[in-house]
Amino acid sequence: MDLYKRAMEVARQYGIPEGIFLGLIEAESSWNPNAVSVAGAIGLTQIMPSTAKLLGYNPQKLKYDPELQLEAGAKYLKEMYEEFQCWEEALAAYNAGPHNVKKYHGVPPFPETERYVQKVMALAEKYQKEISKGKKKQKQTAKFENKKTVISKFKRK
Q: Are 22 and 4 in contact (CB under 8 A)?
A: yes
Please say if 28 is a catalytic residue: yes
| Burial category of 119 from C-beta neighbours within 10 Å (exposed 0-12, middle 13-18, buried 19 and up) | middle
Number of residues that make up the chain: 157
Catalytic choice (18, 26, 28, 89): 28
Q: Rounded to an integer, what distance in angstroms lies between the CA atom of residue 89 and that of residue 100?
A: 10
Given phi > 0 = left and psi -120 to 50 = alpha, else beta, which region is 143?
alpha
In a 3-state reduction of DSSP, which class is residue 44? coil
Burial 37-46 (b: 16+ CB within 10 A, else e): eeeebbbbbb
- Just list the catalytic residues: 28
